[in-house]
Structure 1
Amino acid sequence: MTSTLIAPGTAIGKPAHRDPNVLRWLAAYASSMVGDSVYYIALSWAAVQQGSPAQAGA
């Protein structure tokens, strides 16, 4: 049998989607993912500029 650590009727706190720290982390994570995508597109574009598309694919 498990017992609860919080008494019934007490407030637990803000939900995660309203916590400023979670929202800040989510914004940083999303911008990091966008930056990674832009990096890979720029890397492939630079590879095509140096050689042929077949060489860049290899």
Structure 2
Amino acid sequence: LSSGSGYTGTCTICNHLNNEHRYETCMAVGCRKKWKVCQAGGQWRLCKECNDHP
């Protein structure tokens, strides 16, 4: 288990708390968009990805 992200509110995609998500910056050079990964329930789910670099 990882610690919470510190974000408040609820995810509009999976309805889990935003604190149960991990946020990663896109790995593409120069891109600063965030990927949002739900970690609730033991299975990871992408709730938001970078549409420019899937």
Kindly indicate which of the two structures has a greater share of residues assigned to strand.
2
TM-score (norm 2): 0.19
Greater RCO structure (CA 8 Å; 6+ sep): 2
Larger Cα Rg: Structure 1 or Structure 2? 1
Kindly indicate which of the two structures has a greater share of residues assigned to helix.
1
